[in-house]
Amino acid sequence: MRETDTAARLGGDEFGVVLPRVHDRDGMLQSLRRVQDSIHAPFEYGGNTYALAASLGTALFPEDGAEIEALVNTADMAMYIAKRQRKEAPK
């Protein structure tokens, strides 16, 4: 994340990220790829190697909503679609 970005825990295991300098879907997807790469990168702790998985949903202002509630709902729906696709993907 960049110095201008903000991340917050929304509740449970859900987090939100605000990217104020992203103005179009291509920029958002590029940022999303960086976040995914960071989350999925294996890391070592206590002599063991771990890898995390995450389902990410996105929303872009104002295309996906002009109010915070609409943006969060759009991102939430996208996250659940990604979660379902990850579970259905062949392993």
pLDDT digits (tens, 9 = 90+) for 5-63: 999 998 898 888 898 988 899 999 998 899 889 989 999 999 999 999 888 999 999 99
Across the range 58-76, mean pLDDT stands at 93
Predicted confidence (pLDDT) at residue 91 exceeds the cutoff of 70: no
Task: Tell me if residue 64 is catalytic.
Answer: no
Domain presence at residue 18 = yes
The reported pLDDT for the residue numbered 41 is: 94
3's enclosing H/E stretch is none
Strands annotated E in 2-91: 6-11, 14-18, 43-45, 48-50
- The CATH number for 34's domain is 3.30.70.270
Whether the pLDDT of residue 89 is over 90: the answer is: no
Task: Choose the catalytic residue: 13, 24, 37, 76.
Answer: 13
Structurally, the chain folds into a number of domains equal to 1
Q: What is the pTM of this model?
A: 0.77
The answer to whether residue 1 is domain-embedded is no
Domain extent at residue 51: 6-88
28 domain residue, yes or no: yes
In a domain, 46, yes or no: yes
Are 6 and 17 spatial neighbours (Cβ–Cβ below 8 Å)? yes
What is the total residue count of the chain?
A: 91
Token pair recorded at residue 55? 């389902």
